[in-house]
Every structure is written in structure tokens, then in C-alpha cells.
Amino acid sequence: MSSRPGPLDHFYTVILAGGRGTRFWPQSRARRPKQFLNVLGQESLLQQTLARLRPIAPPQRTWILTNQSLRKQVLRQLPDVPPRQVIAEPVQRNTAPAIALAAHLLQQQDPDAVMGVFPSDHVIGKPATFHRILRRGAKAALGGHLVVLGIRPKWPETGYGYIEFPAGTSARSATPQPVVRFREKPRRAAARRYLDAGNFYWNSGMFLWQARTILREIERFLPATADALSQLRPLNSRQFSASLRRHYAACDNISIDYGVLERADKMAGLPCPDFGWNDVGSWEAVYQLLPKDKRRNVLRSPVQLLSADGNYVDSDKLVALVGVQDLIVVDTPDALLIARRQDSQKVADLVKEFEVGGLTGLL
Amino acid sequence: MSSRPGPLDHFYTVILAGGRGTRFWPQSRARRPKQFLNVLGQESLLQQTLARLRPIAPPQRTWILTNQSLRKQVLRQLPDVPPRQVIAEPVQRNTAPAIALAAHLLQQQDPDAVMGVFPSDHVIGKPATFHRILRRGAKAALGGHLVVLGIRPKWPETGYGYIEFPAGTSARSATPQPVVRFREKPRRAAARRYLDAGNFYWNSGMFLWQARTILREIERFLPATADALSQLRPLNSRQFSASLRRHYAACDNISIDYGVLERADKMAGLPCPDFGWNDVGSWEAVYQLLPKDKRRNVLRSPVQLLSADGNYVDSDKLVALVGVQDLIVVDTPDALLIARRQDSQKVADLVKEFEVGGLTGLL
């Protein structure tokens, strides 16, 4: 019951929910990307993200960045978030402008705003640990740092960027560390070196900082974006949407990592203890996250099995499997996917082929 | 334009179309068994059977034996066959009573009737050869023999019965031979011996005989059946159907092979030259019979493939295959089958499990 100011007093969560997500085809589509799917449990990944962040910041202090075609779905799935805080980017411009826009609007509301930036489509298995990490990160953010959460690698992943910390860095301390360097998605051999070295962490895409700090960096490194934002009318004015449509396209089309973080000098990385993070990057990840039957099957449909092991099955109708192993089977009203589990990353390639082939009805 | 009597002058075809067929689940169901499916080409196997036999006997001399629940479908698929020649068995009683009933009705129409008995769900790749064989068989039938067509085995099949001919029998001669013995479905080792011996032929389930000859044998070996038939009112009387319903259940529930042929002494086997016979006993057989693409896939759906080889795919909607080999994929509105091709015989076991499990909606 202390009235001493805490690190979360001016804390806002910003959830990035504009992603397309092709790796969950045929359930994910351009108009129904991964964050809206109930691939795990009864709620969508977006709803789970909001619920997880509630103890840190209530929906009244939650902002969602999304795009025009997805905004209605966000409002439907997250009725507790004030609709004016669900912002639709008029055009796709990567993460730097989206985060800059959120920072700009928060700064107008609360000059002392501290913001946490979160993807909308990850899962976190240990929320209590996560909350402790965020409190620690928020403190560092209040000290003027740009804080990025680092995740201790469990395998030599080539699909993520890495944060290089000083040699000897340990997640035990869980205190912010200087970032030696950001490393782009490595090749296999480099990923193996990073894993062995111990001071390389996965870049989680989760960030904490004061709105004013990130805005200063954006002014410095992305002046076109800063200039576009300066043209916006206030959020509560009638002209806000029109001004956003007019100026947002002039923003730099660049990620926050490339556009700002790799060049900023106020970076602090937080080498996190394990908080059960998973970016649910493929059907294989969904399979791994869900409970299995005795024959290692994950069955989300009525099924009849005959010598079938290690399969993931999701359909509205009965699926009979005879003698098949380690398959992903996802059945929807207009498309059916059957993939080897080990090939589930390739589903994104499939969707690219639909694009190339002009099969836009399937996107 | 000769008026000399030929062996086909009094020839009638009797097509057995009462089979249930569980091996083509989920396309085949109790009310839509295999013979009604277009698993090969544009026509059903039943329609292909009628078309193939047309040069031997026109639809006016074709009789169909089926059951109550399938009769309407037969009439719909075979509009050229006179409806009174499409006979529905009131209860299921195996092949001996069905054939006996057909013989009884034909005998009433034409005391010199010769009948050919044919399954409704096989394919024959070389119809000209087949027609030559039937003409030869019909001649032997006119001589008072019970003629069974034997098919030279191509592999040591354990799912068929065999006809043992005298040692040294060759299909080249294509003349009727005495049957040494019928052999039931053998075990693997015996099937291998039969194949190597050269004088064992598959029992095709196709028979030719005079109606009067088979009726005499039925009187001898299946008196209950003969007695039941003797109670029937004439086909063109109003009471025929009622009398059939009243007496048919008293017939022996036995196959013509066990009930008559294995005991008769007028048997003649016709060791046939290859006429491209296939009993289409599984999805694997359908796969083998249809043309393939460069990666050995049989695709009867819109599909998108990524490293997929040797698959059979049948669906109304788009199917995407990623990294999968040698699968049977059959999608219907209420059920989806995914089976290894080499396990496609086991689909019948699956259907048995539905029965045991009371999942009658899927039968």
C-alpha cells in the first residue's frame, strides 16, 4: 500500500499485431494471421498476450498497432482495450515507424510514459518469471536505456537475430548488460559458435524504453519518420486519421532493429532467465507445445487411428490415419495441408508459390 | 449374316451388384459401395461392367442382382437395363442363392438360357481378349460344363482363392480344363508355391453355365435353396416380390464356390490368357491403375506440391502436400482418410472398427 512511485506507474504496453504470418497456412490467411488463431488453447495468441500483460499494465494502458484490414478483428478479440488505442497503419512500414507512432502518441498522453513493445503471437510458459523480468527491464528503461530482452538459446537457431553480450555474461544476474553487437540471422556454423560461446542471446523482439528516449533516437537515425510524425494531428482530433493516412507512407520502411537499435548507444540487453518463451514459428512448434497421447499424436479432431504415431491433426470432421508417422494435417473448408512435421517451416514457401502462381484466393 | 446358331444366342449376363465394399472408405459407404464409384475414369465400375459386356449380351439380356437399399442407384446408373431385371435380394444371403435366383428366373424365360456371372466392381484392360474368352467359355457351357475363368497369378496373392489345374496346363491353349481342386485363400508360403508351380490360377469369380445345369447342381447340393425358389411366384405376377420376401430368407447363406463348385463334378476351368483383369481391391490398386505425373503422383484434385512423390490424392478442394511420400489421401465432406499406400488394405479394418465402435454414421 506504499505510495512510493514504482517502475510500472507510467508503464504502457504496445502490442504489434500487424503481422501476416504465412507459416500457419491453411488456418492463417492474409486476413486471419497467426495472432488471431487459437492454435494453443481456447484463446488466440493475441488474447493470450493481452491477458499475460494485464498484471503489468491494464487494457486501459494497452495500445495495439495493427493494419486496416485487421483492426476490426482486434477490436472484436480485445473488447477491453479502448478502441482509440487500436491504431491501424494505413500502409505497411515495418516495425520502426509502428513503434515510433506508438511512442509519439504515448508521449502526448503522458510525458513520462515507459513503453514495453511486444509481439502479439508468441507464448510464454512462465508468466511469473516474465513479470519479474519486465519490472527489472522497466527500471532500466527509467534510467534512460533502450532495453532489449535476450533469450538464452537452446539450439543453434538460424531463424533469429542474436544479441552479443560481454564474455562471461550470465542470465542468473538478470541485470541489464551492455550490448556488444547485434548479430543478424546467422548461418548454421555461426549459430553453433554463438550457442557454444554462451554470451550470445536470441533477440526476442521485446523492448522496454521511455517514449521520449526512443523518440530522440528516431529523430537521430530516422529523420523522415520523425518528420512524418510531427505532421500528425492530435489523436483526439477529428483529423488524426486523415493526417495519419497522409503522412505515414513517408516513414522509413525499416525494422526497429536495423533502423535504430543497431546504431544506438544507449542499448542495454537483459539476459533473461528462462521464462518459457516460444515464438510458435511453425506447426511443428504448435505440435511440440501441446500435450500428446500415448502414441505422440496431438489430435484436435475426431480421429480414428491405425498404427499412426507422432501426428498433429486439426479438422472439423473425422480424420482416419492408417500407418502414417509424424505428419501435420490441417483441414479447413477450402484447403487441406498434409506436411511432414520436419518440413513444417516450408509451409511459408508453399504460400509464396500461391502468390507467384496468382492463387490469391488461397492467401 | 449367318443364321447358324452361335454360342451367344441364348446368352444372358448376370451382374452381382450387392457387395458392400469397405476398402474404399471414405468414398465407399454401406449405401454407396465400390461398384457405384467412379474410382477409375468417368463411369462407375458398374457402368463400365455393363458397357464391357454389351458386345456379348445387350442390356435387354442383362440381369442385375443387388439389394433393397442399392436397387434405386442401379436403376439410375443403368437406365438401359429393364427394371424388372434388376432384382433386389430381400436379405443378404451370399452368392449361391443370388445366382440360383437368377438361374431360376432365366430358366423360366428361356429354357436354353446360358448365363455368365460377373462381379460388378472389377476392371478388364483388354476387352477384346475378354470377349474371345467368353465366347469360348459359352461353348463349353453349352456342352453342360460349369465353367470358371481362371487368371494366371502375377504375384503370390493371399487374398484370392485358387483353381488347381492338371500339371502342365497352359493359358496358351485357352481351352477348358478339368479342375483338380479349388484352393481357399492360401497362406504366404502356399501362395508362393502355387505361383511357382504354374498350374494354379486365381479364381476370378466369373462363371459361365446353362441355367438348367447350375439349377440341377443347386437341387443336389443346396436343397433348401432349391426349395425356396420353387415357392416363388412368376416374375411377371404381382405376387413375385412378396413371395421373394417370404421365401428368400430360407436360402442357404453360402457362396457359390463353397456351396456348389467345390463339390460339383462337371467343373471346367478356363485358364485364361491375360485380359488385364484387376479386382480393384484397394486404393493402392486404383493408384496403380491410373496414369501418374513425373513424381509418380496420381492427382484427382487441385494440388500444390513441395517434394511430394508417389501420392494418390482425391478431394474437392485444394490439397497441399509438403515432403510426403506414398500416401493415399481421400477427402470427402464428412471424413478424411490419410493412409500409407502399402497399408491401403487395412482400410477395411478401420471400417470394422467403426462398426465395433458404433460409429454407424461413418459406415
Which domain CATH number covers A77? Answer: 3.90.550.10
Tell the residue number behind the cell numbers 527500471, with chain if given: A139
The sign of the torsion formed by the CA atoms of B178, B181, B183, B189 equals negative
Q: Residue A2: inside a domain, yes or no?
A: no
Task: Tell me the angle at which helices B211-221 and B223-230 cross, rounded to the nearest 10 degrees.
Answer: 120
Going residue by residue through chain A, which has 363 residues, state the pLDDT in tens, using 9 for 90 and above.
445 677 788 999 999 999 877 889 999 988 899 999 998 888 999 999 999 999 999 999 999 999 999 999 999 999 999 999 999 999 999 999 999 999 999 999 999 999 999 999 999 999 999 999 999 999 999 999 999 999 999 999 998 999 999 998 877 766 899 999 999 999 999 999 999 999 999 999 999 999 999 999 999 999 999 999 999 999 999 999 999 999 999 999 999 999 999 999 889 999 999 999 999 999 999 999 999 999 999 999 899 999 999 999 999 999 999 999 999 999 999 999 999 999 998 999 998 888 888 777 778
Place of cell 504448435: A286
Are residues A126 and A101 part of one domain? yes
In a domain, B204, yes or no: yes
Asked if residues B308 and B325 have their Cβ atoms less than 8 Å apart, the reply is yes
Q: Give the CA count within 13 Å in the CB-facing half-sphere of A99.
A: 35
Residues comprising chain B, all counted:
363
Q: Is residue B5 part of a domain?
A: no
The amino acid sitting at B263 is R
Q: What are phi and psi of B19, to 5 degrees?
A: -65, 150
pLDDT at position B63 is 98
Q: What is the average per-residue pLDDT within B296-300?
A: 96
For residues A181 and A178, give the distance between their C-alpha atoms in angstroms, rounded to a whole number.
9
DSSP-assigned states of every residue in A202-216 = EEEEEEEEEHHHHHH
- A125 and A243 in one domain? yes
CB contact under 8 A, B338 and A349: no
Domain boundary residue, one of A278, A297, A321: A278
| Contacting residues for A363 by C-beta, under 8 A, at least 6 apart | A29, A30, A351, A354, A355
Q: Spell out which residues of chain B touch residue A349, defining contact as CB-CB under 8 Å.
A: 306
Residue A196 lies in a domain: yes
Task: Check if the beta carbon of residue A347 is closer than 8 Å to that of residue A337.
Answer: yes
Do residues B214 and B304 both lie within one domain? Answer: no
Closest residue to A334, CB basis, from B317, B329, B353: B317
Residue A304 Cα distances to A290, A307, A321, A323, B33, angstroms: 19, 10, 6, 11, 20
Report if residue B261 sits inside a domain. yes
* Option in A26, A320, A354 nearest B337 (CB): A320
- A346: cell is 516450408
A267-272 and A146-151: which strand pairing?
parallel
Which residues, in sequence order, are CB contacts of B11 under 8 Å at separation 6+? B56, B57, B61, B114, B115, B116, B138
Q: Does B193 score more than 80 pLDDT?
A: yes
Give contacts of A338 with chain B, Cβ < 8 Å: 319-322, 324, 327, 329, 338
Query: What is the rounded CA–CA span in Å between residue A38 and residue B280?
Result: 42
How far apart (Å, rounded) are the C-alpha atoms in residues A229 and A104?
7
Do A337 and A292 share a domain, yes or no? yes
DSSP B159: S
Other beta carbons less than 10 A from residue A223's beta carbon: 11
Give which of A301, A309, A336 to mutate to test B binding, by max B Cβ within 10 Å: A336
Final residue before a domain boundary, out of B227, B249, B278:
B278
Q: Are residues A254 and A325 in the same domain?
A: no
Chain A residues in contact with B343 by the CB 8 A cut-off are 306-307, 322-323
Q: What is the pLDDT of residues B200-250, one digit of tens each?
A: 999 999 999 999 999 999 999 999 999 999 999 999 999 999 999 999 999
Query: Which among A307, A333, A340 is the nearest to B324, CB-wise?
Result: A340
What is the chain B residue with the closest CA to A354?
B304
Query: For residue range A262-293, what is the model confidence (pLDDT) as tens digits?
Result: 999 889 999 999 999 999 999 999 999 999 99
Identify the helix (H) or strand (E) that includes residue A343. Answer: none
Judgement on whether residues B268 and B336 belong to the same structural domain of the protein: no
Residue of chain A with shortest Cα separation from B346: A322
**Could you write out the DSSP letters of every residue in B290-314?**
S---TTS-EE-S-EEEES-BS-EEE
- Residue B6, in any domain of the structure: no
Cα A3 from chain centroid (whole Å) = 33
Inter-chain touch B353–A307, beta carbons under 8 Å = no
> Residues of B near A (CB-CB distance < 8 A)?
25-26, 304, 306-307, 315, 317-324, 327, 329, 331, 333-340, 342-344, 346-347, 349-350, 353-354, 359, 362
In a shared domain, residues A211 and A287:
no
A232 lies in the same domain as A292: no
The domain containing residue A313 runs over which residues? Answer: 283-362
In a domain, A96, yes or no: yes
Contact (CB<8Å) B338/A315: no
- Any long-range contacts for B222-227 (C-beta under 8 Å, 24+ apart)? B222/B96, B222/B97, B222/B100, B222/B251, B222/B252, B222/B254, B222/B259, B222/B260, B224/B250, B224/B251, B224/B252, B225/B96, B225/B97, B225/B100, B225/B251, B225/B252, B225/B259, B226/B100
CB B331 to CB A327 under 8 A?
Answer: no
pTM, entire model: 0.88
Q: Are residues B272 and B344 in the same domain?
A: no
Q: Is the dihedral of CA B49, B55, B59, B61 positive or negative?
A: negative
| Contact (CB<8Å) A331/B335 | no
Residue B85 in domain: yes
CB within 8 Å: A336 and B350: no
From the list B110, B104, B36, the residue with the least C-alpha distance to B66 is B36
Q: How many CB pairs under 8 A join A and B?
A: 117
* Higher local confidence (pLDDT), B172 or B241: B241
What distance in Å separates the CA atoms of residue B192 and residue B208, rounded to the nearest whole number?
Answer: 29
Chain B residue with minimal CA distance to A328?
Answer: B322
* Residue B156 to chain A, least CA–CA distance (Å): 23
B29–chain A nearest CA distance, Å: 15
Percentage of chain A beyond pLDDT 70 is: 98
Q: How far is A69 from chain B (nearest CA, A)?
A: 25
pLDDT in tens, A2-23: 456 777 889 999 999 998 778 8
B181 and B140 fall within a common domain? yes
Is there a single domain that holds both residue B141 and residue B54? yes
Domain count along chain B: 2
What are the angstrom distances between the C-alpha of B210 and each of B69, B115, B252, B334?
Answer: 30, 6, 21, 46
> Which amino acid is residue B16, in one-letter code?
L
| Helices A223-230 + A211-221 axis angle, to 10 | 120
| A322 to B315: CB separation less than 8 angstroms, yes or no | no
* pLDDT tens-digit map of A82-114: 999 999 999 999 999 999 999 999 999 999 999
Chain B contact set for A342 (CB, 8 A) = 323
Distance (Å) from the C-alpha of residue A40 to the closest C-alpha of chain B?
Answer: 23
> Are residues A60 and A146 located together in one domain of the fold?
yes
Contact A346 B25 (CB under 8 A): no
Using the 3D structure, point to which of B278, B305, B326 is the last residue of a domain: B278
Q: How close A37 comes to chain B (CA, Å)?
A: 20
B360: DSSP letter:
G
